[in-house]
Amino acid sequence: MIIATVIGLALGAWSFLGSAYNFVDNWLLAYGTALGIIVGINVADYVVMKKFSLDTNAIFIKNSKYWYWKGINPASLITFAVLSLILYSPDLGLKVGFLEDLAQVGPLSGLLMGMMMYLVLMKVLKLK
């Protein structure tokens, strides 16, 4: 509990020092963007790739249909890393017009771009 409190304060204490708008604009947009990418990957995998079929027993079995390269799905990691760099680039100092526009609607653009990029990578990498 103490560790979680320290991490929470280290990550977001500055958000409360400004106004409520700063909190919404910075903190929630940053987390929403990351979660949008994750949800996009999950929806693409569950809806498009697995066609609403979930075998809960196979999730925990090695070499099942949910087992990828050494237990890690490289398409999901690549998708999350690349889209994080793209959508957080204005925060990192890269001021390009369309990237700033994408970052302002980070949760939605992360969701849609995450779904598309994940599906393309699953086909290109020839994963299940």
pTM here is 0.79
pLDDT for the residue 42: 94
The answer to whether 63 and 56 are in contact (CB under 8 A) is no
The reported pLDDT for the residue numbered 114 is 96
Which pLDDT belongs to residue 81? 96
| Residue 40 contacts residue 115 (beta carbons within 8 Å) | yes
Residue 12: what pLDDT?
63
Q: What's residue 14's pLDDT? A: 59
pLDDT in single tens digits along all 128 residues of the chain = 788 777 766 666 555 566 667 776 777 888 889 999 999 999 999 999 989 988 888 888 888 888 888 888 999 999 999 999 999 888 788 777 788 888 888 899 999 999 999 999 999 998 76
* C-alpha distances in Å from residue 83, one per residue of 8, 26, 34, 95: 24, 18, 9, 16
Looking at residue 60, its pLDDT comes to: 86
Cα distance between residue 110 and residue 80, in whole Å: 9
